[in-house]
Amino acid sequence: MKIKLTFRYVLSIVIVAISVVLINIIVLITLLFNKNITTPSNYHISEFVRNFQQYIEVEDNAHPHINKNGQKLLNGKDAWIQILNENNKEVYNYDKPKEIKDKYTTIEVINGYKYAGGLGDQSQVLVGSKNINNTTYTYLIGFPMKSIQKYILITETDTMINYIKYAMIVVLVVDLIMAIIFGYIFSKSLTKPVNNIIDAVDDLHKNNYEVNYTEKGLYSNVFKKLNSLSDKLNENELERKKIDKMKEDWIANISHDIKTPLSSIKGYAEFLEEDYNFSSEDIKSYAGIINNKAEYIKELVDDLNLNIKLKNSKSILKKENVNIVSLVKNLVIDILNDSKYSERYIEFESKDETIIMNLDKLLIQRVINNLLYNALVHNDEDVKILVKIFKEDKTHIVISDNGKGISEKDLQHVFDRYYRGTNTGENHKGSGLGMAIAKEVINAHDGEITINSRLNKGTDIEIII
């Protein structure tokens, strides 16, 4: 993987470098061989000299001279002018330096144009001409050396082409070497963090979530996401272990809760098998105990089965229109009619006589009963329970008590499937699925159930559907 990535980036950089070199060579050749290309500055000064002839005038067959506008332009450029006749002899000058000659040979004029100081002065001289009355006059305009520079390049075409070929070869070789060197360095800087990312993913694959990766460089955001993923996976792993521990505890509790009644069933069954003269009352009593224990085991299994079904599907709901006020009120009355709880304090409160809802009557009964019995068996006999129903957009069922309350630790897990809190009364028996089933039933009705509690202050449970 590392070799493939390195080769890919090196190849990309080499291609880019070669492309840049070729573009530079094309531009260089264009500049060398295209005679029409001039810099803005040279173009300006050349045009100035060529167009200056318009300021040269002749009056009454006299010698040519420059007008005031021409003089003003020369003064602005700190330049001088000399006008020569066809014999290269001066017929007029303006602001000419003293060392400049009055007559030249043709070669002197040419050298003066080509080279600085060719006319005996350190000026840059440009040449123009003007035809007046069938006479061609040559004018020389000299500019300060600081203003313009001339560069003369004379070479044979073949020699120039050979130079360009050598230059291209040298540039290509040097750039290729540099591209490979810098490409390797650059690709290494890219592939190293990629390899670190691969190592990080491998760590996560091996369940190593404790490693923290430095968030810097080109892939800082990737490492940030990896750290976030690592933290999340670590949290999930801790939560999984916690759930596994709760499962183990729950299975131990279920095993104990099943084993105890099974022992009783087995004991009474073996007892009845013995050849004793049991009275009909004794047999009825023993059979009742066996039946109660078997019913208890059945309830445990049913709880587990119901919880799994509710967790995976809402299709088990058998909804019908029910007056939730009457339903809850009758459940409270049934509990108070039980001789075991007839002396307990349960208050029912509702401003509405009728609130019709479409729900699974048996499952909602089970939830309310479970919550009411929890309030009774988890608290002392003097606990006060208030059941309140009201409608505000949705229907609210609130069950409050002033009992022992629930610790913060137990409150966090009260709806977990495998959690059984420590705050249970001696008469409390069950699968540890009661509150989990209650939550799943309410969720299946697209409602919500919340619980607030403080130790020694009481508990408030609210169902909103």
**Predicted local confidence at residue 82, as pLDDT:** 92
Q: How far apart are CA 167 and CA 445, in angstroms?
A: 83
**Predicted local confidence at residue 425, as pLDDT:** 41
- Cβ-based burial of 200 (10 A; exposed 0-12, middle 13-18, buried ≥19): buried
Residue 356, Cα to own-chain centre: how many angstroms? Answer: 48
CA–CA distances in Å: residue 300 to residues 203, 249, 314, 323, 371: 42, 15, 21, 29, 17
- Tokens 């709901």 locate to 317
Q: 3-state SS of 410-465?
A: HHHCCCCCCCCCCCCCCCCCCCCCHHHHHHHHHHHCCCEEEEEEECCCEEEEEEEC
**Predicted local confidence at residue 332, as pLDDT:** 93
Q: How far apart are CA 442 and CA 436, in angstroms?
A: 10
- Tokens 């040298």 locate to 170
Contact predicate 91/84, CB 8 Å: yes
DSSP state of 403: S
Phi/psi-derived region of residue 83, left when phi > 0, alpha when psi is between -120 and 50, beta in every other case: beta
Q: How far apart are CA 91 and CA 64, in angstroms?
A: 7
Contact predicate 247/418, CB 8 Å: yes
- Tokens 């650059």 locate to 186
Find residue 388's DSSP bridge partners: 349, 398
The one-letter code for the residue type at 370 is N
Which tokens sit at 406?
């629930």
Per-residue pLDDT of the chain (465 residues; tens, 9 = 90+): 444 444 555 565 566 666 666 665 665 565 455 544 444 444 478 888 889 999 999 877 778 999 999 999 999 889 999 999 989 999 999 999 888 888 988 888 887 777 766 676 678 888 999 988 888 899 999 888 887 777 666 667 777 677 777 777 877 777 788 778 777 776 766 677 777 777 777 777 777 767 777 777 667 787 788 788 888 887 888 878 877 776 776 677 667 667 777 887 888 787 777 767 777 887 888 888 888 888 877 877 777 777 677 766 656 788 899 999 999 999 999 999 988 898 999 999 999 999 999 999 988 998 999 899 989 998 999 999 999 999 988 999 999 999 999 888 888 888 876 555 544 444 444 555 778 888 888 988 989 999 999 998 999 999 999
- Tokens 């304090």 locate to 345
CA–CA distances in Å: residue 397 to residues 116, 131, 329, 417, 462: 107, 114, 11, 23, 6
Coil/strand/helix, residue 148: coil
Contact predicate 81/94, CB 8 Å: yes
Q: How far apart are CA 145 and CA 124, in angstroms?
A: 6
Is the Cα torsion angle 114, 120, 125, 131 positive or negative in sign? negative
Q: Report, in angstroms and rounded to the nearest whole number, the Rg of the chain calculated over CA atoms.
A: 53
